[in-house]
Amino acid sequence: MPAIVKANADDRQVLAWAIIENLQRKDLTDRETAHGLKELYAAHGYDVNTAIQNLHIINNAESDNSRTTRPQKDFLSISKQVGLSAKRQREYLQLVRDIPEEVLNHAEKQGLSMEKKQLLTRPKVIFSF
């Protein structure tokens, strides 16, 4: 099995590589991917909200080409290693941020699509007559 050995890697970088390797598996559920992304960014010191903000900046820059606002430090290189678009990463992180774990587990068991899970993250509107 081919391998690349990097002797000068710190624990944070080794953890990040392991998470990225797991995120590139094809058999992950949306919940597992969301938690993997959360762990990856946490390993680099980014909380979920900061990661979502940076991914939003990257997504806007990709579609706009006016790089007036830039993501934080090494964030762009971390996000590119994942192999998912900034928009898709943001959607996964919003799931793990906005949906309670038990609801997300139930949605997985019910086989809800990513789009239906995203509906669970939207603000609830209650009508009264």
Give 129's pLDDT tier (boundaries 50, 70, 90).
low
Distance CA(110)–CA(55), nearest Å, equals 29
Residue pair 58/86 in contact (Cβ under 8 Å)? The answer is: yes
| Mean per-residue pLDDT, 71-93 | 88
DSSP reduced 3-state for 79? helix
Say how many residues make up the chain: 129
**pLDDT at residue 127 in the model:** 62
pLDDT at 38 over 70: yes
pLDDT higher than threshold 60 for residue 66: no
Instruction: Provide CB contacts within 8 A for 104, sequence distance 6+.
Output: 31, 34, 95, 96, 117
For the chain, domains (ranges, CATH) are: 11-119 (1.10.10)
Please give the single-letter amino acid code of residue 78. I
pLDDT for residue 17: 82
The whole-angstrom separation of Cα 97 and Cα 48 is 7
Q: Per-residue pLDDT averaged across 105-110, rounded?
A: 90
Please state, in angstroms and rounded to a whole number, the distance separating the CA atoms of residues 95 and 97.
5
Q: Enter the pTM of the model.
A: 0.79
The whole-number pLDDT of residue 126 equals 63
